[in-house]
Structure 1
Amino acid sequence: MIQNKTISCEKGSLTVAKLVERIASVTSCESLEYVELRGPLQLEVCDTLSQLTELGTLAVMEDCSDSFAKKAFEIVSTVTTEITLYRIPFESKEEFQTFLKSNLNYLKINSDFSMFTLDHLLVTNALKLKLREVMLSVTDISQFLTKWFHSKCNSRLKHRSLCTLGGINETCLRKY
């Protein structure tokens, strides 16, 4: 976005990657505030991402391919402030846990991801974590909070936000 206007291109004209590249060149801009990844792997976009020295938010949308998301993570992991996942682009639990262990500043997961468990939550090494539409039981949440407050997991985590789809009986959670 430039001055709150979305950049888009008509088919047959410049690609979005080339347009962003030209704008960055003219304005001496080395950063972007927000990038959404959609569709299959786009090498031009990856080339553009590799030139950034700062990226506010990288959002992996529901229609983004696994290979595109993984390549983007590889490229921008050191320069991005926030990663938002609208889908989980990992095929195995181990691959997902490796990603969660990386030193992310802010990780938001907005995905009904049934494979997300207490174990994933415990290995997450993000400084800030926000979960929406992730199905965790009251027991899982209580166990996580207990371990977090007693520094038995994720020493970097300073802020966490859990948004539940259903009601949680707060009396089932321990008082801290």
Structure 2
Amino acid sequence: MPRVSIQTEDFDLSAEVAALRAGLAGVGAVVSFVGTVRDRNDGAAVSAMTLEHYPGMTEKAIEAMVDQAVARFGLLAARVVHRVGPLLPLDQIVLVAVAAAHRGDAFQGCEFLMDYLKTQAPFWKKEDTPQGSRWVDARVADDAALARWGIAAGNAAGEAPAS
């Protein structure tokens, strides 16, 4: 199973966690995070979202993030699944799942990867609202979350692609 998958299809949390744990006798903790599409953002109703990425570049960037998380927290396994294309409210967007010998490392590793993904992964998000479509910028709070890990936020995930 690859550590990183970028896909249009939905994912099954139970199947992903089972595959992550398979054959790892030293696992004492598995932590997962599933992000979903909200029906509101910045005070506006959201009827749909489209996620875009650069194939190849996105996977490479996330693989590097996973390498950092494994090195920092001694993770035994990690899996990131990120969806792209059109999505609706309540749809699953992202899965981050990690396995470690101890719960503290698993929680930290999962949170580190999610903070990193929100600011550094090359994805671009467009929301459909009653006022029309709009590109969504990275949030200052996401940059601050990444900074607590000693990483300065870049602009990779925050700018809309060139038209």
What is the TM-score with the length of structure 1 in the denominator?
0.32
Q: Which has the higher strand share?
A: 2
Higher-Rg structure is 1
User: Greater RCO between the two (CA within 8 Å, min separation 6)?
Assistant: 2
What is the TM-score with the length of structure 2 in the denominator?
0.34
